Chains A and B, each alone.
Chain A
Amino acid sequence: MRKYIDYIVIGIKEHMVYPSAIWAKLFSKIIYLYLQFSIWTALFSSHSQINPLINREDTLKYIIVATIISAFIECNTIEWINAQIQTGNIIMELIRPIDFRKMIFSRHLGDSIVKIVFYCIPLSMLAIVAIRKPLLCQGQILCGFLSIILAYGIQFLYSLIIGLLAFWLIVTWPLNMLLGAIYKLLSGAWIPVTMFPDLLYKINFFLPFRAIYAIPVTIMKSQMNTQNIWKDIRTQLIWIIFLFVITEIIWQIGKRKLIVQGG
């Protein structure tokens, strides 16, 4: 356990090594939040709404909460595994007497701690000051946090699966780029899933993406009955188990297929 805690510390130190980069990222996230806010405000101010079921306040709340969650939930595991395979450093990582996947998770956890402190908290404070209305549904905060933790796990396992595909593909960034866009669209990080047309909504129902943003954000900001909350959390748990099994299979087969470039 001690060695994984050390990796968490490494994750924190790696992220904090360039303080100016932290400021630049925080600034970019504030700009992104402002852009999202402006786009949705412009859409609702146009009075060209077709769907009567959506409203400005709910949508803005959704987008703000999703942007704040995205500030720490996003995972650079894919790029990291890619770099390790391409430089050949993965050999050094694999011969260490630790579990490779747990090591990556520990680094990611350390990285996320820094992101929560330096990005999520300032963004939340800024949003609260700007909106001047409660963003979260008070009675469901605990379930919301549980859902965010599950979403964090799903996001990590999904990234790990794509990252481990580099054992076969050597370069996974095009796959990452492609799936990244599909993921951003279907997860509800850009557009609330309630706005999706019927067909897209049905397709999305069978994919894990909505469990990363749409489910936790909806639990955090909308009044829901207990039955529906637990149904959503159960869906997330099923996806975690499913992705975990897939990761295990890919890892067992992939480590035998590893091709090391350079080194």
Chain B
Amino acid sequence: MDYFRMYRRFVIIYIKGKLEYHLSLLFELIANTILIGVYFVGFNVIFHNFNSVAGWNKYEVLFMFTTSWLSYSFSCFFFWSPMQILVN
């Protein structure tokens, strides 16, 4: 239970830390949005030259990519970023 409380504390500290620098947070949100756009462009370049990858078409590949990105983002929010406080 103590571990859970400590973890919750880490998440709160992390969110507060993020909200402290407004410009940095805004920049981070924009950067993340454009970043995923760049990956989409990359996929489009590949599918500009190929119809499919081992039978998977463009939309199927994009769906898999975004699903993986979503789970990665959740894991970063709940685990990686709060735990970074321990490292620093």
Q: How far is the CA of A197 from the CA of B49 in the complex (A)?
A: 9
Pair B51/A42 contact, Cβ less than 8 Å: no
Pair A178/B34 contact, Cβ less than 8 Å: yes
**Which of A42, A174, A190 contacts B42, CB < 8 Å?**
A190
A54 at the interface (CB under 8 A from B): yes
Q: Mark B19-36, 1 if CB is under 8 A from A, else 0.
A: 001011001101110110
A227 at the interface (CB under 8 A from B): no
Pair B24/A174 contact, Cβ less than 8 Å: yes
A142 at the interface (CB under 8 A from B): no
Binding site for B on A (CB under 8 A): 39, 42-43, 45-46, 48-51, 54, 169-171, 174-175, 177-178, 181-182, 185, 190-191, 195-197, 200
B85 at the interface (CB under 8 A from A): no
A195 with B51, Cβ < 8 A, contacts A171-B24, A174-B31 known: no
Interface residues of B in 27-65 (CB under 8 A from A): 27-28, 30-32, 34-35, 38-39, 41-42, 44-46, 48-55
Task: Chain B residues near A42: list those with CB within 8 A.
Answer: 53-54
Pair A49/B21 contact, Cβ less than 8 Å: no
Q: How far is the CA of A177 from the CA of B48 in the complex (A)?
A: 25
Binding site for A on B (CB under 8 A): 21, 23-24, 27-28, 30-32, 34-35, 38-39, 41-42, 44-46, 48-55
Task: Chain A residues near B55: list those with CB within 8 A.
Answer: 46
Q: Which residue of B lies closest to A44 (CB)?
A: B50
Task: Chain B residues near A50: list those with CB within 8 A.
Answer: 48-51
Task: Chain A residues near B32: list those with CB within 8 A.
Answer: 174, 177
Task: Chain A residues near B52: list those with CB within 8 A.
Answer: 46, 48
Task: Chain A residues near B42: list those with CB within 8 A.
Answer: 185, 190-191
Pair B27/A175 contact, Cβ less than 8 Å: yes
Task: Chain A residues near B30: list those with CB within 8 A.
Answer: 174, 178
Task: Chain A residues near B38: list those with CB within 8 A.
Answer: 178, 181-182, 185
Q: How far is the CA of A177 from the CA of B31 in the complex (A)?
A: 7
Task: Chain A residues near B44: list those with CB within 8 A.
Answer: 197
B14: shortest Cβ distance to chain A, in Å? 15
Task: Chain B residues near A48: list those with CB within 8 A.
Answer: 50-53
Pair A174/B49 contact, Cβ less than 8 Å: no
Task: Chain A residues near B41: list those with CB within 8 A.
Answer: 185, 200
